[in-house]
Amino acid sequence: MAQKLILRICYLYPDLMDTYGDIGNIIALKKRCATRNIKVEIVNKSLNDKIEKDKFDLFFFGGGQDKIQILVGKDLQKKRENLINSIEKGAVLLSICGGYQLLQKYFRTVSGETIKGIGLFDAHTEGSDERMIQNLWIDLSKNIKDEIKEIYPTVDKKQLTTDLIGFENHSGKTYLGKNLKPLGTVIKGAGNNGEDKTEGIRYKNAFGCYLHGALLPKNPHFADYLIAKALERRYGQIKLEPLDDSIEWQAHKAAIKRT
């Protein structure tokens, strides 16, 4: 009998960091795994909870307001070691907006407070007077496109969707360090800072972005990519058959049309 795959998800601060439907990402991951008969275990971790060493395959960290970020930022320092250790060992992480900012070196808010991040990402964010609020449409970086092709061996490479659509609302402007690649290039919207056309970041299998929305329900290729990467760590290379995502693609296209 084929081995039953298990995906162990850690949902970071769901009670404090969840804006614009970020929880939809968890629902999408759960649903896509259930359809494929992959068992999912989800553990919520909030203030004062400990992240166990090497326990999780996938972390999710949503967005939040500046004030909440001060509180969460302090607590995250206590989780730093085991979280970074998991990423170094290949665990997957998806972080959005406020969560993305707290994983960087620091976030200086528009009111002048500096929130220390955990430095997983070589990047920093500066609060600005400008609020970047709109749909955000990006073209994924080439290495990620290539990896998505690998997980869907039965799909015609030319048919694969390689963009992402989401919704951004942030005043922080993020600047990447020299050695890290963005998640993608902005087609429409502001992205990291509204200046250099980069959006998001990638370090190993950890991703940061400004794509709320929720992101994964209307970007099923990226959801599958994260699932495959997260399982690979323990089960070796994972190949997936695409699901019937006609409704998801309709949502994807409708959002782009409105962008």
Least distance CB 23 / ligand GLN (angstroms): 13
Binding residues for substrate: 131
Distance CA 127, CA 132 (A): 11
Are 123 and 177 contacting, i.e. CB atoms less than 8 angstroms apart? yes
Residue range at the interface with ligand GLN (CB under 6 A); choices 85-93, 138-146, 163-171, 222-230: 163-171
Token pair of 45 as six digits: 């971790």
Token pair of 43 as six digits: 């553990």
Is residue 209 annotated as part of the catalytic site, yes or no? no
124 lies in the binding site for ligand GLN (CB under 6 A): no
Q: Which of 10, 97, 170, 252 is catalytic?
A: 97
Query: Of these, 46, 134, 135, 171, which contacts ligand GLN (CB under 6 A)?
Result: 171
Sorted by sequence, the CB contacts under 8 Å of residue 107 that are 6+ apart come out as 69, 73, 101, 114, 115, 117, 124, 125, 127, 172
What is the number of other CB atoms lying within 10 angstroms of the CB of residue 81?
12
Least distance CB 65 / ligand GLN (angstroms): 5
x/- map, 37-66, ligand GLN, by CB under 6 A? --------------------------xxxx
x/- map, 12-31, ligand GLN, by CB under 6 A? -------x------------
Query: Of these, 145, 170, 202, 229, which contacts ligand GLN (CB under 6 A)?
Result: 170
172 lies in the binding site for ligand GLN (CB under 6 A): yes
Are 101 and 69 contacting, i.e. CB atoms less than 8 angstroms apart? yes
Q: Contacts with ligand GLN in 90-119 (CB under 6 A)?
A: 97-98
Least distance CB 91 / ligand GLN (angstroms): 22
Least distance CB 215 / ligand GLN (angstroms): 13
Q: Contacts with ligand GLN in 188-247 (CB under 6 A)?
A: none
Catalytic positions are 97, 212
